[in-house]
Amino acid sequence: MATSKLIPPHGSDELKILLLDGKEREDELKRAESLPKVTMTTRETGDLIMLGIGGFTPLEGFMGKDDWKGVCEEMKMANGIFWPIPVTLSHDEKIDPGTDIALISGETNEIMGTMKVTECYQIDKEFECKHVFTTADPEHPGVKMVMSQKDYNLAGPVKVLSESYFPERFKGIYQRPAESRKAFEEKGWKTIAALQLRNPMHRSHEYLAKIAIEVSDGLYIHQLVGGLKPGDIPADVRVKCINTLVENYFVKDRVMTGGYPLDMRYAGPREGLLHAVFRQNFGCTHMIIGRDHAGVGDYYGPFDAQNIFHELPEGALLCKMLPIDWTFYCYKCEGMASMKTCPHGKEDRLFLSGTALRKALSEGGDVPNEFSRKEVLAILREYYGGLQDDQRVEVKMHGHATGDAKKK
């Protein structure tokens, strides 16, 4: 059997797949029905699925206190393996170590897996927020997520029994790491750049993608199909937009699309690192990091997510950053450009961002043709046109969306 030429999974020689199937799954599911139940948030459910499919290799379950503290403070677990954001499960009551529990989706009420509790502990939530998000501001959506966690964290190895609705609802997009790796092998790709998306692709995303294709064997457009904050564009609409763009504006054998089941944490630099960790597990050698990657509001400098990669110890992460400068449409250049390539002033530039696009569309404003491809805008206008007034969320602009934020 030929040895794989793909990048190895993070911290392991092979994917750590915790998802059961066949009779083993049936037996565990039957056993789970009689176990004490712990209900999970959508964030925890997405994390469990990623544990199941090997996306969070080499993790074997939810983190204990030593791992939690090490990840918060030093971005490494107790065993020394690099990991940038805690993967934890919270519960409102103490559970004795040694107890087997069933893990239930709070969204669908489905039994998602089982866990043997090895530890039950309390954490300083503000401590976690200040390290992971660099802020404890309750308006930050990631901080809000952590502060709303229950009183105790439960740790232990898991057995995963379901991928929820993701394989059916996002058929053709949702992928497991073993599937993306197999496809990359079949295509003969060795260098693969990942493009993280939580918004429909506008021209800036398209420009980043095509730069990456020029220097890689292939591009993996990997979009989040889990939970987002209010006002973000739903995953099914975004998938339709991206598929249309790829179909009409990309060379077919150089691009592959996929979806993964996590909720956004909006952790900026730390989340950029997490994105690189699990993209390595999916088989990618490079992670595109552009302006304000995984950021929200003005909590992070526009290039903090690039800077943090330079601070990593040698060998901590094999998936490398592909940094790309601030990009925009320049009317004098008559095309897409970046701060490195365009000599003109701000008055000649149209800054492109998902925030600006959502704001214009949600308020019924004009969107310049240079902002996004006409096929994509048609899909988005149809979506926003169908929203009732009570479904619309005010979209607040910030410096990173207008070009006013300063590069740090």
Catalytic residues: 198-199
Rounded distance between C-alpha atoms, residue 371 and residue 359, angstroms: 13
Residue pair 72/128 in contact (Cβ under 8 Å)? The answer is: yes
- HSE-up (13 A, CA, CB side) for residue 8: 10
Q: If you count them, how many residues does the chain have?
A: 408
Strands 320-323 and 286-289: parallel
Rounded distance between C-alpha atoms, residue 195 and residue 322, angstroms: 10
Rounded distance between C-alpha atoms, residue 193 and residue 191, angstroms: 7
Rounded distance between C-alpha atoms, residue 328 and residue 344, angstroms: 11
Q: How far is CA 118 from CA 9, 96, 105, 111, 362, in A?
A: 26, 8, 21, 20, 47
Beta strand residue intervals within 64-174, DSSP E: 89-91, 100-105, 111-116, 119-121, 152-160
- HSE-up (13 A, CA, CB side) for residue 326: 23
